[in-house]
């Protein structure tokens, strides 16, 4: 406080009048001890006529050291009348006094130990100096003609040292003056650009005129072409067409060219060569009939099938005549097969372009001439898909190292199919076609291990049996893309797995599995040892009578990502179920986890109207489940004390946030409230409400 307006009476006057001057600025414990101290009123001068007044008050609470340690805490008053506590370093024995800033006046030293909870007077030591010289830094005028070391170092002025280091030297300044352009010109006979250039020049030198809002103009010497150029728009550079700058013109270089005849238009002359077609008296070709593919005369005649005239041989002309519309269509179909083979990263290649099995490319290209096309027209090669499959097997086009493709044209094919190895069945486009429907049961169970089959863009339905059966005991692989499996029978499934090989796998992308009736059956069942991987898939029950959308048992593994599951789920036996980044809506069914192996949910949006959305006694692990309503609960019997359970089985378990400031007020008090807040924040971030 830099002023001379002193309170009347001055601070501490009551002590002076009572002959208790030692009470001025005295530090003592509180009447009711705590970790703070009480400081009596006081007043003292600093340098010059600056007076500091303090009306008395309490210090901030002191922080005890760690257990078994002690430290000194110095109570000080600064040059503006503020009480400051200066902590010393804690030590097990003989702690040291801290360093006190020059501008602070020490009042008392408090010895505090790790187990202290309050400050008493026997812990407070008076260290007020009897005589005190001013504590504030001197003014600049007070250091005049003083030669003490480090009285006013250069770093006491912020940025002064850097500013002095950044200044240019006199030599740099003089050099800059020498390089400065002179607006009045030069007295030298020559003005030199690139004066410091040595060796072979590489830079193009330009003289430009800045014309304000108008395009820049200028001239330059182009070192690459060694030609003077000029510009009138600042963008296009044109070589000077003058013999003093360049030589003769050519078809690639601007320059001088003499016309052989007078120009019709002198402003737009046309230069021609002796081989120009506009010249008079053009040359007549020599007789050349003997060079024709099939003989003939000098005047080229039309080609005749199996003839001997024209530029095309008769044999080639006959081949063109043999190309019909149907043949051309079939060739184009098989051509797309080759393109699919070359661009497909899942089959028959893996993700880095390597073949999963040995591939006979000659056979693939052979299919361009002998396609397996199934259709309803009399001109189509096959009228049923099974006939095309059997023909491929008979011809050996699906032998080891070969892959055959069947293209199915629009139509409803009522037939049961038995898939054979190394055959891909697809629509013409490979995408799901609503008018390509196969009504019957499709069975896959190969007798030789290590083979695969592929399905693309097809719709499979059944009214009296399972729609698709993945059977057998050998290792096999099914790649299915953009297909739909529908069941309309009371006791069967849209997709059934019973293959017992743990090496078998099914890869499904963009597929739909659904029940189309009012029966009580599962839609999808993995009752084998197969690994089923589904991405962007839909499992949907169209009736409340459907038992479950998904049922897993035995020791199979089902992994779903970015999918949607409507109706319940059952996980039994030693099967594994993993669902990530998906929506699960069991509706009035439960998700029953009774497997001895773990089931995992990660990043799931869960919607249920049942009492328990998830029940059972199995191992259930999950993270980031977003509830779509307030009735979702998990059975308390889950997990059977095996493995971690992150969320409770009831909604009202108390929850105390580690940092309440991280939550939008008011912070949650139960785990259910915390989950709801996270879900609402996520919904707001993604742009939709929950």
* Predicted pLDDT of residue 37: 95
Domain boundary among 87, 106, 140: 140
> How would you write 407-434 as a 3-class SS string?
EECCEEEECCEECCCCEEEEECCCCCCC
Give a yes or no: residue 369 inside a domain. Answer: no
What pLDDT band is residue 174 in, cutting at 50, 70 and 90?
confident
Q: Are strands 411-414 and 404-408 parallel, antiparallel or unpaired?
A: unpaired
- Closest to 570 (Cα-Cα) out of 554, 562, 583: 554
* Predicted pLDDT of residue 684: 57
Rounded mean pLDDT, 487-502: 87
Rounded mean pLDDT, 488-498: 86
**Within this chain, do residues 621 and 633 fall inside the same structural domain, yes or no?**
yes
Is 591 a residue whose pLDDT tops 70?
Answer: yes
185-194, 276-285, 485-494: the lowest-pLDDT one: 276-285
Residue range 328-347, pLDDT digits in tens:
555 555 555 444 554 444 44
The total number of structural domains in the chain stands at 5
**Within this chain, do residues 73 and 129 fall inside the same structural domain, yes or no?**
yes
Q: In the numeric block, which tokens belong to residue 267?
A: 């402003």
Is residue 614 within 8 Å of 594, Cβ to Cβ? no
Rounded mean pLDDT, 311-326: 67
**Within this chain, do residues 17 and 79 fall inside the same structural domain, yes or no?**
yes
Give a yes or no: residue 485 inside a domain. Answer: no
* Predicted pLDDT of residue 331: 57
**Within this chain, do residues 112 and 227 fall inside the same structural domain, yes or no?**
no
Rounded mean pLDDT, 370-380: 82
Gap between the Cα atoms of 429 and 324, Å rounded:
22
Residue identified by tokens 């509180």 is: 30
Q: E strand or H helix at 681, and its extent?
A: helix 671-686
Residue 149 burial class via C-beta count within 10 angstroms: exposed 0-12, middle 13-18, buried 19 and up: exposed
Give a yes or no: residue 526 inside a domain. Answer: no
Domain boundary among 123, 140, 157: 140
Domain boundary among 257, 281, 305: 281
CATH code (residue 47): 2.60.40
- Closest to 563 (Cα-Cα) out of 514, 610, 597, 612: 514
Rounded mean pLDDT, 109-138: 78
| Angle (CA) 616 619 625, round 5° | 85
**Within this chain, do residues 87 and 122 fall inside the same structural domain, yes or no?**
yes
Phi, psi of 309 (to 5 degrees): -140, 165
Of 13 and 425, the one with more pLDDT: 425
Is residue 371 within 8 Å of 330, Cβ to Cβ? yes
What pLDDT band is residue 166 in, cutting at 50, 70 and 90?
confident
* Predicted pLDDT of residue 324: 65
| Angle (CA) 368 370 376, round 5° | 105
Residue range 503-514, pLDDT digits in tens:
989 999 999 998
- Closest to 227 (Cα-Cα) out of 218, 240, 242, 243: 240
**Within this chain, do residues 587 and 645 fall inside the same structural domain, yes or no?**
yes
**Within this chain, do residues 264 and 308 fall inside the same structural domain, yes or no?**
no
* Predicted pLDDT of residue 135: 46
* Predicted pLDDT of residue 199: 82
Residue range 8-28, pLDDT digits in tens:
565 655 655 555 667 888 999
What pLDDT band is residue 687 in, cutting at 50, 70 and 90?
very low
Gap between the Cα atoms of 276 and 465, Å rounded:
80
* Predicted pLDDT of residue 217: 92
How much of the chain exceeds pLDDT 90, in percent? 23
CA terminus-to-terminus distance, the chain: 59
**Within this chain, do residues 25 and 89 fall inside the same structural domain, yes or no?**
yes
**Within this chain, do residues 646 and 659 fall inside the same structural domain, yes or no?**
no
Is 606 a residue whose pLDDT tops 50?
Answer: yes
Residue 54 burial class via C-beta count within 10 angstroms: exposed 0-12, middle 13-18, buried 19 and up: buried
What pLDDT band is residue 243 in, cutting at 50, 70 and 90?
very low
Give the range of the structural domain holding residue 309, as residue numbers without chain letter. 290-322
Give a yes or no: residue 295 inside a domain. Answer: yes
Phi, psi of 23 (to 5 degrees): -80, -10
Of 42 and 340, the one with more pLDDT: 42
What is the average pLDDT score of the chain? 76
Gap between the Cα atoms of 98 and 36, Å rounded:
19
Give a yes or no: residue 665 inside a domain. Answer: yes
Residue range 642-674, pLDDT digits in tens:
333 334 344 455 667 767 777 777 887 876 677
Gap between the Cα atoms of 55 and 44, Å rounded:
12
**Within this chain, do residues 644 and 671 fall inside the same structural domain, yes or no?**
no
Q: In the numeric block, which tokens belong to residue 74?
A: 């110095």
**Within this chain, do residues 49 and 114 fall inside the same structural domain, yes or no?**
yes
Which residues are CB-contacts of 360 (< 8 A; sequence separation ≥ 6)?
A: 401, 402, 403
Residue range 439-451, pLDDT digits in tens:
999 999 999 888 9
* Predicted pLDDT of residue 488: 84
Give a yes or no: residue 531 inside a domain. Answer: no
Of 206 and 618, the one with more pLDDT: 206
Residue 215 burial class via C-beta count within 10 angstroms: exposed 0-12, middle 13-18, buried 19 and up: exposed
* Predicted pLDDT of residue 49: 60
* Predicted pLDDT of residue 463: 86
Give a yes or no: residue 498 inside a domain. Answer: no
Residue range 176-223, pLDDT digits in tens:
776 665 666 666 677 777 777 788 887 788 888 888 899 999 998 888
Give a yes or no: residue 394 inside a domain. Answer: no
Which residues are CB-contacts of 209 (< 8 A; sequence separation ≥ 6)?
A: 216, 217, 218
Could you tell me the CA-to-CA distances from 89 to 66, 98, 322, 325, 461 in Å, in that order? 11, 7, 102, 97, 81
Residue 364 burial class via C-beta count within 10 angstroms: exposed 0-12, middle 13-18, buried 19 and up: buried
**Within this chain, do residues 32 and 132 fall inside the same structural domain, yes or no?**
yes
Q: E strand or H helix at 179, and its extent?
A: helix 170-179
Rounded mean pLDDT, 531-536: 89
Reported for 354-358, long-range contacts at CB under 8 A and 24+ positions apart, including other chains, are: 356/452, 357/400, 357/401, 357/403, 357/422, 357/450, 357/451, 357/452, 358/400, 358/401
């Amino acid at each position: 406080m830099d002023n001379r307006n002193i309170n009347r009476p001055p601070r501490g006057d009551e002590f002076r009048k009572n002959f208790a001057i030692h009470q001025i600025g005295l530090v003592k414990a509180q009447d009711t001890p705590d970790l703070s101290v009480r400081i009596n009123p006081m007043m003292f001068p600093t340098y010059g006529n600056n007076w500091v007044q303090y009306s008395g008050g309490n210090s901030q609470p002191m922080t005890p050291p760690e257990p078994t340690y002690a430290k000194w805490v110095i109570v000080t008053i600064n040059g503006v009348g503020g009480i400051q506590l200066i902590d010393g370093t804690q030590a097990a024995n003989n702690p040291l006094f801290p360093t006190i800033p020059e501008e602070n006046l020490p009042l008392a030293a408090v010895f505090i130990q790790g187990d202290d909870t309050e400050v008493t007077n026997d812990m407070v030591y008076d260290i007020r100096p009897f005589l005190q010289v001013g504590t504030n830094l001197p003014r600049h005028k007070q250091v005049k003609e003083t030669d003490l070391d480090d009285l006013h170092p250069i770093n006491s002025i912020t940025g002064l040292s850097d500013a002095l280091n950044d200044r240019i030297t006199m030599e740099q300044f003089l050099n800059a003056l020498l390089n400065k352009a002179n607006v009045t010109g030069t007295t030298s006979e020559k003005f030199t650009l690139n004066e410091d250039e040595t060796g072979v020049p590489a830079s193009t030198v330009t003289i430009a005129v800045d014309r304000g809002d108008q395009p820049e103009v200028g001239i330059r010497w182009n070192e690459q072409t060694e030609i003077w150029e000029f510009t009138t728009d600042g963008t296009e550079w044109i070589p000077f067409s003058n013999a003093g700058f360049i030589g003769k013109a050519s078809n690639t270089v601007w320059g001088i060219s003499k016309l052989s005849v007078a120009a019709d238009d002198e402003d737009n002359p046309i230069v021609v060569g002796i081989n120009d077609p506009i010249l008079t008296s053009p040359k007549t070709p020599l007789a050349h009939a003997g060079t024709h593919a099939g003989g003939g005369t000098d005047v080229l005649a039309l080609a005749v099938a199996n003839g001997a005239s024209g530029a095309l041989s008769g044999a080639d002309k006959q081949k063109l005549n043999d190309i019909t519309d149907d043949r051309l269509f079939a060739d184009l179909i098989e051509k797309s097969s080759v393109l699919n083979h070359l661009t497909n990263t899942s089959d028959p290649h893996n993700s880095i372009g390597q073949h999963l099995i040995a591939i006979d490319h000659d056979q693939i290209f052979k299919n361009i001439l002998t396609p397996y096309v199934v259709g309803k027209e009399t001109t189509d090669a096959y009228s049923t898909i099974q006939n095309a499959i059997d023909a491929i097997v008979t011809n050996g086009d699906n032998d080891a190292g070969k892959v055959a493709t069947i293209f199915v044209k629009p139509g409803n094919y009522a037939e049961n199919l038995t898939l054979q190895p190394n055959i891909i069945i697809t629509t013409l486009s490979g995408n799901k076609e609503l008018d390509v429907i196969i009504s019957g049961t499709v069975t896959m169970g190969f007798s030789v291990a290590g083979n695969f089959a592929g399905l693309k863009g097809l719709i499979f339905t059944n009214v009296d049996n399972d729609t698709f059966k993945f059977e057998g005991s050998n290792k096999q692989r099914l790649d299915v893309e953009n297909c739909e499996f529908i069941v309309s029978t009371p006791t069967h499934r849209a997709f059934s797995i019973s293959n017992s090989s743990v090496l078998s796998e099914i890869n499904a992308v963009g597929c739909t599995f659904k029940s189309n009736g009012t029966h009580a059956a599962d839609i999808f069942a993995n009752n084998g040892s197969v690994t089923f991987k589904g991405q962007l898939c839909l499992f949907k029950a169209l009736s409340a009578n459907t038992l479950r959308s998904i049922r897993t048992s035995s020791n199979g593994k089902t992994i779903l990502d970015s999918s949607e599951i409507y109706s319940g789920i059952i996980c039994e036996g030693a099967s594994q179920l993993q669902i990530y980044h998906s929506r699960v809506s069991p509706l009035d069914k439960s998700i029953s986890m009774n497997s001895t192996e773990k089931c995992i949910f990660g990043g799931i949006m869960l919607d249920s109207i049942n009492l328990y959305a998830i029940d059972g006694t199995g191992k259930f692990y999950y993270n980031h489940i977003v509830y779509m309503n307030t009735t979702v609960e998990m059975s308390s019997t889950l997990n059977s004390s095996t493995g971690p359970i992150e969320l409770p089985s009831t909604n009202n378990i108390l929850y105390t946030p580690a940092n309440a400031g991280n939550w939008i007020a008011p912070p949650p008090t139960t785990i259910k409230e915390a989950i709801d807040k996270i879900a609402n924040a996520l919904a707001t971030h993604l742009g939709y409400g929950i």
